[in-house]
Structure 1
Amino acid sequence: MAKQQAYNQRPGSDTLKKRTPRSESSGVLVLHKTLDILEAIKNTPGGLSLADLSRAVRMPKPTAYRITSTLESRGYLDRTTEGGYQVSRKLFELQRRTTDEQVIIRAAQPIMDRLVESCQETVNLGILDAGEVVVINTIESPQGIRMASKIGNRRYLHSTALGKVLLCGLPERELQRLIRVKGLPKLTPFTLTTVAGLKDELELIRERGYSIDNEENELNGRCLGAPIFGPYGRMVSALSISGPSFRMTVEHAHSLAPQLLEACRSITQSITS
């Protein structure tokens, strides 16, 4: 994965707006008030009415109303049958997911360190998020010419080793939905752009246990990926080894598969034990 990849550019990501000290402190104050409200509601069984909430956090009603209305519109608060506010399932899911990711990252870190030392190439840890693969941890190769990546990078699923592995863990209906929503855009001459071609590739990955990105996401880069499983055999993440194609030949990529698969088994065991 190269950091020059244009797909990472998000609207406004390359523009920095100058903030004044007053606007900065105002934003922090609103954040503090929002967190006060969430904590007060979360710590009160049955939720809180607007009046009770206003008293609990010592905040004027209009201010409390503006913040709770925003949180409700974003799905982080629900209304109780009495008209009060309670924390939504979305907030608990966000908390659970963040906790799950940290568990995976902690379990994977020492194993990723050893894998980079062994193979001398960049190792990435990724998860499925909103129809894309997101890098949640990365350790770059110590070599001068290497595949660069950074935490938070987003990539298409169909064109990356991490992504194709994660697609293998989806039910057929969800796979079809993602293809319909995200499409199969062509990023290089080698990208899989047909549903039939992608499905054949996923079947091959399931049979051998790992994926290969053969310059499908970007030219001159080759990767292999394998799955990490959580409780009950559910795929929760994927691990990849990436290198420049002049060094990471197809043959060399396949030769690294046993190391990658063993690393994934070790992470899976750490998570589930």
Structure 2
Amino acid sequence: MIQSVERAMEILEILKGSPKGMGVSEIANQLGVAKSTAHRLLMTLESGSYVRKVGKDSLYCLGLKFLEMNQVVVDSLNVVEIARPHLEKLSKESGEIVHLVMLDGNELLYIDKVENSSTIRIYSQIGKRAALYCTGVGKAILAKYDEEQLDDYINHNSFHKYTEYTLTTPEELKTTLKEVRNNGFAFDNQEHEIGIRCVAAAVFDSSRKAKYGISITGPVSRMIDQHLETYIPKLTETADNISRQLGYRK
């Protein structure tokens, strides 16, 4: 019985690498078993929708059951739990506050925050909301919108001037987002709160959507360009690592 389970798992691994499908004889050869044995295993897997036949040659490929299973796995992922060790490492390396946010409609929701002894008190709190256009994480996410999505966002949101540095026109926002796309990261240069600067990057989920973002945030006196040169590679690497753990594949 155990050997049959092992062989069934081997079949699934073989088919995972053959998206166009494989015939019974080819599968049997790779398994090193008789064609009748491979056929019996495939029939069992087919009855559970783990494999299916495709094309006029009735080649076997992975079944639709895996779509269902994939969604269950994705739904069970806890982004805060996954991201937390990465955020702690990034905060320790930078010495600044590190945020994790989630896109919720046309706003950001702060879902985690890592501080250390040298950080200062700022606006953000877990559970608080913020606008996209005036935050680093918001702009990092907006930069991943296509033209239609961006226009829809602009048409349904007003631009409140939080500080003298806040972007307040669609033209300013679009120009800034072009820079974000080219760079792969975004800044908040005192646009939401005077004295506070941050650099941010988008985080993707398994559907290849930028649903999350992370940022390094600190006072302008410490978030100077020479420090940011060392922070930015760590930030983008952290965002990539979290994205991969959430199932994102380029």
Cα distance change, pair 239–101 in 1 and its aligned pair in 2 (3 A):
farther
In 2, the alpha carbon distance for the partners of 1:105 and 1:218 equals 25
For residues 121-132 of structure 1, the aligned pairs below 5 Å read 121-132=96-107
Aligned length: 177
Runs of 4+ in 1 over 4 A off after TM superposition: 99-102
Moved more, 231-240 or 142-151: 142-151
Identity %: 32
Give the CA deviation at 1:194: 1.4
Say yes or no: does 1:145 pair with 2:120.
yes
Contact 2:109 2:130 in 1 (8 A): yes
| Structure 2 equivalent of residue 79 of structure 1 | none
Give the CA deviation at 1:149: 2.6
Q: Report Cα offsets for 1:105-157 as digits up to 9, x if no partner.
A: 12101100111111110010111112111111111232153545321111111
In 2, the alpha carbon distance for the partners of 1:249 and 1:190 equals 17
Contact 2:144 2:181 in 1 (8 A): no
Say yes or no: does 1:207 pair with 2:182.
yes
In 2, the alpha carbon distance for the partners of 1:253 and 1:244 equals 12
Give the CA deviation at 1:173: 2.1
TM-score, length basis structure 1: 0.60
Q: 1:127 is aligned with what amino acid?
A: M
Q: 2:235 is aligned with what amino acid?
A: L
In 2, the alpha carbon distance for the partners of 1:100 and 1:169 equals 23
Say yes or no: does 1:216 pair with 2:191.
yes
Contact 2:140 2:201 in 1 (8 A): yes
Q: 2:90 is aligned with what amino acid?
A: L
Say yes or no: does 1:192 pair with 2:175.
no
Say yes or no: does 1:115 pair with 2:90.
yes
Q: Report Cα offsets for 1:178-230 as digits up to 9, x if no partner.
A: 22222121111111111111101111101110001011111100001001112
* From 130, 137, 157, the counterpart of 2:132: 157
> Pairwise CA RMSD of aligned residues?
2.2
Cα distance change, pair 236–130 in 1 and its aligned pair in 2 (3 A):
closer
Secondary structure at 1:272's aligned position in 2?
coil
**Structure 2: unaligned runs, 5 residues or longer:** 1-70
Cα distance change, pair 136–145 in 1 and its aligned pair in 2 (3 A):
closer
Give the CA deviation at 1:255: 3.2
Secondary structure at 2:176's aligned position in 1?
helix
Contact 1:165 1:238 in 2 (8 A): yes
* From 198, 207, 225, the counterpart of 2:200: 225
Secondary structure at 1:108's aligned position in 2?
helix
For residues 231-242 of structure 1, the aligned pairs below 5 Å read 231-242=206-217
For residues 236-251 of structure 1, the aligned pairs below 5 Å read 236-251=211-226
Q: 1:132 is aligned with what amino acid?
A: E
**Structure 1: unaligned runs, 5 residues or longer:** 1-95
Q: Which has the larger radius of gyration?
A: 2
Contact 1:133 1:156 in 2 (8 A): yes
Moved more, 120-129 or 231-240: 231-240
Give the CA deviation at 1:103: 2.2
| Structure 2 equivalent of residue 263 of structure 1 | 238
